[in-house]
Amino acid sequence: MRPAFFGKNAAQAGAFLLLLLAVPYALPNEYYLSICILGCLSAVIAVGLNLLMGYAGQISLGHAAFYGMAAYATAIATTRFSLPIPVGMALGVALSVAVAWVVAAPTLKLKGHYLAMATLGFGIIVSIVFNEAVDLTGGPSGYVGIPRLALAGYAFDTDRSYYNLMAVVLSLVVLSSLNLMRSRTGRALRALHVSEKAAASLGVDIAAHKRFVFVLSAGLAGLAGVLYAHYLSFIAPASFGFGFSVQLVVMVVLGGMASVWGSVAGAFFLTALPEALREFEDIDILVYGAILVLTIMFLPDGLAGGLKRLARRLGRRGEGA
Amino acid sequence: MLSGAPQYLVSGLTQGAAYGLIGLGFTMIFNTTGIINFAQGEFVMLGGMLAVWFAASGLPLVVAVLCACLATAVVGALMERLAIRPLAGAPAINAVIITIGVSILLRGGAMLAFGKDTVALPAFTGTAPILALGAAIQPQSLWVLAVTLALLAALKLFFAATIQGKAMLACACQQKAASLVGISVARMALLSFGLSGLIGAAAGAILAPITMTAYDVGMMLGLKGFAACILGGLGNPFGAAAGGLVLGVLEAFGAGYVASGYKDAFAFVVLLLLLFVKPSGLFGQAGVERV
């Protein structure tokens, strides 16, 4: 294992932040900016899910639950109990973290398809509660009137300001994830992915590391959830169902497992794709499915792997010339 | 308090038999290929929708149902040939994503072909309920149970008495060893996808007169089927059928005695509790993990 080059990570994340901040100047109108904001939100969750799935090798088909839980918690705290927004957000993230901590111990003992089923079941139960606990969540028609984000006297009430905030948040999440994966903990997580027994024999506390990365990824989903709630000011159970959990997994796989940048790319790609397909009306869902199938067939190691291979091939051609 | 019990038991067993059939479909594919096929629920949807379509185009009901099953078997085989086989050697998670992509394709295709309406298939033999033991039993419920039992018996025979069935069991047991004794693993994969399509479609068609059907019913039915085969112990076809029955009955009693809105949640709560206590399912054996 190479020594950690945290400085390199900071440089990459800094360049990424500048790129993100430059994007609005290239966009024709505000509508695209809102898609970019949703892309950043999904990217925050996907990067977190990749820490769990791509690096530590534990699948979760229920991550939309943590996203939704935090969103509902801050919505209820700031409207019904009139708590300040930062408190609501902290409560939301804390709820996701706490639930993940409790759920992690029995769940992460399971492996493979059993783990997939357990996380899936958990996600479905939570989304049914969002639908059925009408007094608390507003039921299927949703929860309205969530205040837009204001922090320290500054109101993030335009899409532009919210996008800038999301660019900073996403860059920080990316930087922390890159650093984490180059740290001792990150190496331990990758080791337990390859072989739990081998990792344990080297002194890695398997259960504690699995729980840590599960809670961390749930916390990131929660962070995205509270930011989503205070951005849209309206939330409904449909956004936090099994479909979105699956979409998050697809983002990670499509982007490339165990690649932080790949997850970011996968998240933006899958968020933008349905919007780009909107003009095809009813066949958009067919095209979406087809693109998904074809991408996995022809880019088996995801967008990140595909780009890496392309770069290598171009590099080789360059040397030859 | 227990007044509704016989009724709940009947409807639970009916629904559960269908879940069991769907779980059986999962198991067939899992055993030969190691893949969890997320398009299994779409096979069920196709069975129901195609049966309605064939029946509406003038075919007798029995013929329509058989045609729907065969057509879905072809769809399953095509899926294996076009989307799964080219993937050989890729990580299992990629195959799972492919099946999710195919399920989106099938759902979209069904929406375009049949529209977004909820449709019903006529009951096979009328709707006059049979009164027995304090429950009103729909004749269709008996059809569901009978078809499930017949399919289970046919599969048992297929595995025990035909060379193809034994070859498939061999693949499930050890793919490498199976191919060494001359079994074409690829052909068995094709066969298992075709059979899963057939079984899934049968479940969809026999259930359609009771619950109605639409282009988007596949996901929940697929998830319940997956739950049934996990409950029964993944890889054990008859465990999946039993798991489905348990799931259906739990669901019916939960909906009847606790709250009908949470109907879909009961099955999963029980499943989670079971997994936490016995991680290999009801009838599964704890796997030996290789280092």
- Spell out a b/e string for A137-163, using b for 16 or more CB atoms within 10 Å of the CB, else e: bbbeebbeebbebeeeeeebeebeebb
pLDDT tens digit sequence for B218-251: 988 998 998 898 888 777 888 888 999 999 998 8
> What pLDDT was estimated at residue A1?
45
Q: What pLDDT, on the 0 to 100 scale, is given for residue B156? A: 87
Residue B2, class by beta-carbon neighbours within 10 Å (0-12 exposed, 13-18 middle, 19+ buried)?
A: exposed
pLDDT at B39 over 50: yes
Q: Do B36 and A113 touch (CB under 8 A)?
A: yes
Task: Examine the pLDDT at B291 and tell me if it is beyond 50.
Answer: no
Give percent of chain A with pLDDT exceeding 70. 97
Taking CB atoms and an 8 Å cutoff, what residues of chain A touch B261? 128, 131-132
Amino acid letter, residue B95: A
Is residue A38 pLDDT above 90, yes or no? Answer: yes
A-chain CB neighbours of B259 within 8 Å are 132
CB B192 within 8 A of CB B233: no
Whether the per-residue pLDDT at B66 is higher than 90: the answer is yes
Q: Please say if the pLDDT value at position B263 is more than 60.
A: yes
Q: Which pLDDT belongs to residue B22? A: 93
Nearest-Cα distance to chain B for A36, in Å, is 24
pLDDT of residue A46: 95
A124 has a pLDDT exceeding 60 = yes
DSSP result, A80-120 = TS---HHHHHHHHHHHHHHHHHHHHHHHTT--HHHHHHHHH
pLDDT in tens, B17-27: 999 999 999 98
Among A26-35, A253-262, A289-298, B279-288, the minimum mean pLDDT is found in B279-288
State which residue of chain A sits closest to B109, comparing Cα positions. A286
CA distances from B35 to B27, B80, B156, B176 (A): 9, 11, 22, 16
Query: For the ranges A5-9, A113-117, A203-207, B182-186, which has the lowest average pLDDT?
Result: A5-9
When pLDDT is averaged across residues A200-212 and rounded to a whole number, the result is 88
Least confident stretch, A22-26, A178-182, A184-188, A304-308: A304-308
Mean local confidence (pLDDT), A135-160: 85
Q: Locate B64 and state its tokens.
A: 């329509």
**Over 90: is that where the pLDDT of B41 sits?**
yes
Q: Average pLDDT of B81-104?
A: 84
> In this structure, are residues B267 and B250 in contact, taking their beta carbons and an 8 Å threshold?
yes
Q: Report chain A residues whose CB lies below 8 A from the CB of B272.
A: 118, 121-122, 125
pLDDT tens-place string over residues A208-262: 999 999 999 999 999 999 999 999 989 999 999 888 998 899 899 888 888 899 9
What rounded mean pLDDT belongs to chain A? 87
**Alpha-carbon gap, residue B216 to B106, rounded angstroms:** 10
pLDDT at B182: 87
- On the CB side of B55, CA atoms within 13 Å amount to 21
Quote the pLDDT of residue B285: 58
- The tally of CA atoms less than 13 A away on the side-chain side of residue B251 is 25
Q: Which residues of A touch B98 (CB under 8 A)?
A: 293, 296-297
The CA distance from A312 to B65, in Å, is 54
Q: Per mean pLDDT, which range of A93-102, A279-288, B58-67 is the poorest?
A: A279-288
B152 to chain A, minimum CA–CA distance in Å? 24
Q: Are A50 and A260 in contact (CB under 8 A)?
A: yes
- Confidence at residue B160, expressed as pLDDT on a 0 to 100 scale: 87
Beta bridge partners of A143: A235
H helix intervals, chain B: 5-33, 40-56, 61-79, 92-114, 139-161, 163-173, 175-180, 185-211, 218-232, 237-257, 263-277
Q: Report percent pLDDT > 90 for chain A.
A: 40
Kind and range of the H or E element at A313? helix A302-320
Give percent of chain B above pLDDT 90.
Answer: 34
pLDDT of residue A225: 95
Q: Give the gap in angstroms from C-alpha B113 to the nearest C-alpha of chain A.
A: 11
pLDDT category, A318, cuts 50, 70, 90?
low
Place A128 in a pLDDT band, splitting at 50, 70 and 90. very high
Read off the pLDDT band of A93 (50, 70, 90). Answer: very high
Among chain B, residues having any CB pair with chain A shorter than 8 Å are 30, 36, 83, 86-87, 90-91, 93-94, 97-98, 100-105, 107-109, 111-112, 219, 223, 226-227, 230, 234, 259, 261-262, 264-265, 268-269, 271-272, 275-276, 279-281, 289, 291
Q: With CA atoms as reference, report the closest residue to A108 among A194, A224, A192, A204.
A: A192
State the pairing for strand pair B130-132/A234-235.
unpaired
**Per-residue pLDDT averaged across A155-178, rounded?**
90
| Residue B155: pLDDT over 50 | yes
Residues on chain B touching A257 (C-beta within 8 angstroms): 91, 93
- Residue B2's pLDDT band, with cuts at 50, 70 and 90, is low
